[in-house]
Amino acid sequence: MPTLAVGSPEHNLRWRRWQRAAGFTLIELLVVIAIVALASAGVGFALRDSTQVQLEREGERLSALLESARARSRLTGVPVWWHSTAEGFRFEGPDAQPLPQADLPQRWLDPDTSASSGPDAAADSRLLLGPDPIIEPQKLELHSRAQPGKRVRLVSDGIHPFALQVGVP
Question: In 3-state terms, the chain is what percent helix, strand and coil (to 5)?
Answer: 40, 20, 40
The reported pLDDT for the residue numbered 123 is 46
Three-class SS state of 45: helix
The reported pLDDT for the residue numbered 128 is 87
Distance CA 35, CA 37 (A): 5
Residue 36's pLDDT band (cuts 50, 70, 90):
very high
User: Are the beta carbons of 162 and 71 closer than 8 angstroms?
Assistant: no
Mean pLDDT of 51-69: 89
The reported pLDDT for the residue numbered 93 is 82
Distance CA 37, CA 32 (A): 9
Distance CA 129, CA 94 (A): 12
Q: What is the pLDDT of residues 121-155, one digit of tens each?
A: 544 578 888 888 888 899 999 988 888 888 899 99
Distance CA 127, CA 156 (A): 11
Residue 73 has pLDDT above 70, yes or no: yes
The pTM for the full model equals 0.66
How far is residue 23 CA from its own chain's centroid?
A: 44
Residue 28 has pLDDT above 80, yes or no: yes
The reported pLDDT for the residue numbered 38 is 94
Residue 87 has pLDDT above 90, yes or no: no
Three-class SS state of 41: helix
What's at 112, amino acid-wise? D
Three-class SS state of 111: coil
Cα angle 163, 53, 37 (rounded to 5 degrees) comes to 110
Q: Report phi then psi at 104, rounded to 5.
A: -120, 120
Distance CA 130, CA 133 (A): 7
**Sheet with strand 151-156: strands edge to edge:** 113-116, 138-144, 151-156, 163-166
